[in-house]
């Protein structure tokens, strides 16, 4: 993979292949959590999922022991036995598969695939709902109806969109591996570090432009760092390469 390919890739698979043996378990686990957060509207139907994702993130940072996460995992599992009533390809089943790939053993490729499939199936469900709304003026057509072509296109479009979002998350967490950045100790003032810590702990990513200003005031002139913090289109998650850089996380 070239630098240009990394920066424009919309498929996480070759990006992950490039990172084999280079990415820390922490970074990969936070990537998995971020992908699960993206399908939270499905996962949150199951009691305990938000707590589980939070526990896994704390585990990634060494904040809790494996057995503590395991306890939360099985509490969640026992609380949604009704999952058996869903069809195998339903968004709920695929979302649950993503969580199962997250813990206890991280199977990141399986997780990304399951999350994409969940999003793809949810895209079809949304298309059904839209179809029903458009056709509800006839009482005999109140059920959502999709042609085979509409079904296929809805699934593919949602799946491709999720795949592209996952590739963006890889760049958010790993930055540009072709141009690794080191933090100048002079940048790491008490204000900068405290601000980054607050952003990380509170998920207060709306403060990223403030972090850019603080870094610049401390002498940082690295355009990759500053533009990443100030980009209004950038979605930030725990594991953001700039916040990790300031906090000394690998």
pLDDT in tens, 192-225: 999 999 999 999 999 999 999 999 999 999 999 9
Whole-model pTM? Answer: 0.87
Residues 6+ apart with CB under 8 A from 112: 12, 13, 16, 35, 166
Q: How many CB atoms lie within 10 A of CB 166?
A: 25
134 and 236 share one domain:
no
**In the structure, what pLDDT confidence band is assigned to residue 132 with cuts at 50, 70 and 90?**
low
* CA atoms of 92 and 41, how far apart (whole Å): 10
Percent over 90 (pLDDT), the chain: 64
**Can you read off the two tokens belonging to residue 177?**
């591996």
Question: Domain limits at 217?
Answer: 185-247
How many structural domains is the chain composed of?
2
CA distance 163 to 170: 11
Last residue of one domain, picked from the residues 174, 209, 235: 174
Question: Which of 124, 154, 174 delimits the end of a domain?
Answer: 174
Task: For residues 121-127, give the mean pLDDT.
Answer: 68
Digit-coded pLDDT (tens) for 152-174: 787 788 889 999 999 999 999 99
Is residue 202 included in any domain, yes or no?
yes
Q: Is residue 180 part of a domain?
A: no
For residue 245, is pLDDT > 70?
Answer: yes
Mean pLDDT value of segment 98-106: 92
For the residues 69-85, what does the mean pLDDT come to? 72
pLDDT band at 49 (very low <50, low <70, confident <90, very high): confident
245 and 215 Cβ atoms separated by less than 8 Å: no
- Does residue 149 carry a pLDDT above 80? no
How many angstroms from the chain centroid is the CA of residue 38? 5
Examine the domain organization and report whether 150 and 203 are in the same domain.
no
């Amino acid at each position: 993979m070239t630098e240009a390919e990394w920066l424009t890739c919309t498929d996480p698979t070759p990006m992950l292949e490039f990172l084999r043996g280079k990415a820390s378990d922490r970074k990969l686990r936070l990537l998995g959590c971020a992908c699960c957060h993206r399908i939270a509207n499905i996962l949150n139907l199951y009691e305990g999922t938000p707590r589980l994702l939070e526990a896994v993130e704390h585990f990634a940072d060494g904040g809790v022991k494996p057995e503590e996460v395991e306890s939360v995992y099985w509490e969640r599992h026992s609380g949604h036995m009704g999952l058996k009533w869903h069809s195998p390809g339903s968004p709920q089943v695929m979302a649950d598969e993503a969580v199962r790939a997250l813990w206890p053993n991280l199977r990141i490729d399986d997780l990304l695939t399951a999350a994409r499939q969940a999003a793809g199936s949810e895209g079809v469900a949304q298309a059904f709902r839209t179809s029903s709304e458009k056709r509800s003026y006839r009482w005999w057509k109140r059920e959502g109806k999709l042609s085979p072509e509409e079904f296929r296109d809805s699934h593919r479009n949602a799946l491709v969109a999720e795949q592209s979002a996952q590739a963006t998350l890889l760049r958010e967490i790993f930055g540009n591996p072709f141009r690794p950045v080191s933090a100048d100790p002079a940048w790491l003032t008490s204000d900068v570090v405290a601000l980054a810590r607050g952003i990380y702990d509170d998920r207060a990513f709306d403060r990223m432009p403030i972090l850019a200003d603080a870094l610049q005031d401390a002498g940082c002139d690295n355009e990759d760092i500053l533009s990443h913090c100030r980009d209004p289109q950038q979605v930030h998650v725990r594991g953001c390469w700039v916040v990790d850089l300031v906090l000394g996380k690998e």
